[in-house]
A = this chain, B = another copy of it.
Amino acid sequence: MSWLDEVRWDEQGLVPAIAQDDRTGRVLMVAWMNRAALQETARTGRAVYWSRSRGRLWRKGEESGHVQRVKAIRLDCDGDAVLLTVEQVGGIACHTGRERCFFREWREERWVVTEPVIKDPERIYPASVKGKGDEP
């Protein structure tokens, strides 16, 4: 059996994939992978996700340059979630220009932004893709 068959893909053929920075240990983002995305990630050593909004493979950093070099790929006990340990090129994972997508924290019944924008998204993405950017 292929290692890809050991993954329990959901009814859309997807699993959630977490990217964690291998240097800081911070959880950067969660995206989705289908079979082709996981296979290409393993083969190339660069994170590839499935963009649900765009309905195509999303080679992380293809527009922003903020690629993720994959150090390890892990699978959970029931096979339905993937954990990538990555080197985040540019130190920015989020399309908002922040280090990571989890920049809001719950405090007293509110979501509070706790992390700064490192680089203006308008400087990350060319005008042609502005507003679409590197979003899932």
Point out residues on A near B: beta carbons under 8 Å.
2-3, 6, 16, 18, 20, 25-27, 29-30, 42, 72-78, 81, 83, 94-96, 98, 101-106, 109-111, 135-136
Contact = CB atoms under 8 A, between A and B. Distances in A.
A84 B102 CA distance: 10
B77 A111 contact: no
Q: How many copies does the complex hold?
A: 2
Given A3-B109, A109-B3, A111-B6, A94 B77 contact: yes
A37 B15 CA distance: 21
A78 B136 contact: yes
A105 B135 contact: no
A111 B1 CA distance: 11
Nearest to A20: B27
